[in-house]
Structure 1
Amino acid sequence: MKTYKRVLSIAGSDSGGGAGVQADLKAISACGCFAMTAITAVTAQNTLGVRAIEPLPVNVIDAQIRACLDDIGVDAIKIGMLHSVEVIQTVTRVLADYPIKYIVVDPVMVATSGDLLVQQEAIAVMQKELFPLATVITPNLYEIEILSGKKIRSQEDLYLSIPALKSIGARNILLKAGHLECEEITDVLIDCEHDLEYRYPAKKIITPNTHGTGCSLSSSVASYLAHDFPLNIAVEKALNYLHEAIETAAGYRIGHGHGAIHHFYKWW
């Protein structure tokens, strides 16, 4: 019998369908893996912003993760929105009970709309307890600023933040440059353990349809890691997938704000 490559998303739900576990399910499936979810919070959200956040009880989060891992198993895990200190500590405690080969952490702190999605005191706990478990973390521009303590206004600023980021406790960091206002952007993968950098230049696509790009990228990285590609190749494949999904979605209109990307551009 054939087997699936299995990816579990531990993240929040987006009622608008563009980000969170909804985006993760789409991206993981599009990248050839079987997708599972453990929902950490329910958000009332659309293309214009976040209206409400309701965290799930930690015992329910714990039970969801264990239900998937005990029966179905996993080849990679993507971790997204962990709203509080208690949730972060619950997730790290549960994962310590299982041999997980790949963990991709999208340190969701700020939505595309600018809304803060995590309690302030949770950021330090995330850095201390979760980052060391991660194969790679994938901060966006706003999260890079929070983690490095530096303002990022240009590609050069992004490069200058690297020394500070090397000390935050992560093994590998994928710096996402998508929010920069320039024609050419370069995402950077930092291998902190071996002091290596991989750069991925691309032409910026001008479109409002960028909701859920971070969720989709981290999920696709996890998916390609589940397929056992080396990290730098998994990142390259994930970025190529995301670029095509954004480019295709630019021709669509959905909602009145930041629309979703087109996860299934290969099929329709």
Structure 2
Amino acid sequence: MGVDHARPPNVQRLRRRTAAAAEPPAVHHKIFPPVSTSPPPLALIFGPFDPSGSSNLPADAVTCAQLGGHALGVLTAIHVQDTASIEAIQPVAPELIDDQARCLLEDMAVGAMKAGPLYTVESVSTIAQIVADYSTVPFVLHLGSLPDEEMLAADHDAEDLVGSLFELLLPQADVVIADHNLITLWANHGFLSAHGGGSPAEIVLEYQAKWALITGAPLRPGQRSYQLLGADKQTRQWPWAPPPERVMGTEGLLGCVVALELARGLDVPQAVEEAIHHTATLAGRSFQPGMGHRLINRSIS
């Protein structure tokens, strides 16, 4: 009689369970959070390439991914920089900005756009035309400090650039984000000669922006705030604290998250509140990769 080599079913099940237990556990879920089955909101970012990863592109793309969104990028300039400073800026030709933006906008359902910083009048004009052609897409404009004069294009000065930003982009912006002291400085230097006075938020609204989000606005002696002011005089305020010492890119981060939350479908006050919360959380996580400023730690841990 031949020998039956088949194992009893219960032994086979036991061996399968033993083999399964011996396999190393899957670790992917410990590295990446659960992936949503619904499409992520799409935010189109116009900005320079920052090779240090401190702000703008690609940092905004990482921020969007961390918060459940997807960033599309249009380069407006290339920086030569490290964590200490920007050494040179090479603007991208406006034709390339236009071609790349329209290529993306014609292909995908972009939920919001964010721009800034911008360094030439031509790039401002190009983006203004794109925003006008896609006027139903929420647009966030981040106004930041200008680079040193020698880094700007030879045929443009700071006043020309600021004037183009206020005249061409502010009237189309759903939200303008700027520091209180920066708007005050530009007004005192005569860059905003058309304004009739008032607070920085009121100056921004004079140029027909729908909402102004001012950081570092004086609230009372020793206290400052985020001030959100709408065209219909709706006002919201949240406590503001200076960014942690030597941490780069907090205002750019704020603009990126506002755009992402608008792409998600929130209204402006809700989007700003969410962005302030996320910015405070991320700004509290920084690291020192080089000899210059600290950078926001956008990594997933």
Q: TM-score range by the shorter chain?
A: 0.7 to 0.9
Deviation per residue, 1:45-91 (Å, 9 max, x gap)? 22211100001111111111011111123000011122111111111
Matched, 1:212 2:244: no
Q: TM-score, normalised by structure 1?
A: 0.84
Maintained 8 Å contact 1:110/1:143 = no
CA distance in 1, matches of 2:82, 2:207: 32
What is aligned with 2:274? 237
Deviation per residue, 1:154-185 (Å, 9 max, x gap)? xxxxx9544444323322111012999x9753
Query: Which of residues 32, 35, 51 is equivalent to 2:87?
Result: 51
Structure 1 counterpart of 2:235, one-letter code: E
Residue 43 of structure 1: CA displacement? 0.7
Maintained 8 Å contact 1:178/1:204 = no
What is aligned with 1:156? none
How well do the aligned residues superpose, as a CA RMSD in angstroms? 2.5
Matched, 1:223 2:292: no
Query: Which of residues 101, 126, 133 is equivalent to 1:90?
Result: 126
Query: Which of residues 216, 231, 244 is equivalent to 1:177?
Result: 216
Structure 2 counterpart of 1:8, one-letter code: L
Cα separation, partners in 2 of 1:96 and 1:166, compared to 1, 3 Å = closer
Query: Which of residues 218, 236, 241 is equivalent to 1:198?
Result: 236
What is aligned with 2:45? 9
Cα separation, partners in 2 of 1:164 and 1:126, compared to 1, 3 Å = closer
Matched, 1:123 2:158: no
Bigger relative contact order, structure 1 or 2 (CA pairs below 8 A, ≥6 apart): 1
Maintained 8 Å contact 1:32/1:223 = no
What is aligned with 1:66? 102
Q: Secondary structure at the match of 1:89?
A: helix
Q: Secondary structure at the match of 1:2?
A: coil
Question: Which ranges of structure 1 fall in alignment gaps of 5 or more residues?
Answer: 151-158
Question: Which ranges of structure 2 fall in alignment gaps of 5 or more residues?
Answer: 1-36, 190-197
Q: Secondary structure at the match of 2:258?
A: helix
Structure 1 counterpart of 2:232, one-letter code: H
Moved over 6 A (4+): none
Q: Secondary structure at the match of 2:284?
A: helix
Q: Secondary structure at the match of 2:294?
A: coil
Residue 213 of structure 1: CA displacement? 1.1
Deviation per residue, 1:83-108 (Å, 9 max, x gap)? 11111111111232234321000023
Q: Secondary structure at the match of 2:52?
A: coil
Q: TM-score, normalised by structure 2?
A: 0.75
CA distance in 2, matches of 1:207, 1:123: 28
Maintained 8 Å contact 1:7/1:74 = yes
What is aligned with 1:137? 176
Q: Secondary structure at the match of 1:61?
A: helix
CA distance in 2, matches of 1:178, 1:63: 38
Q: Alignment length, in residue pairs?
A: 250
Q: Secondary structure at the match of 1:177?
A: strand
Matched, 1:263 2:298: yes
What is aligned with 1:254? 289
CA distance in 2, matches of 1:245, 1:2: 25
Matched, 1:106 2:156: no
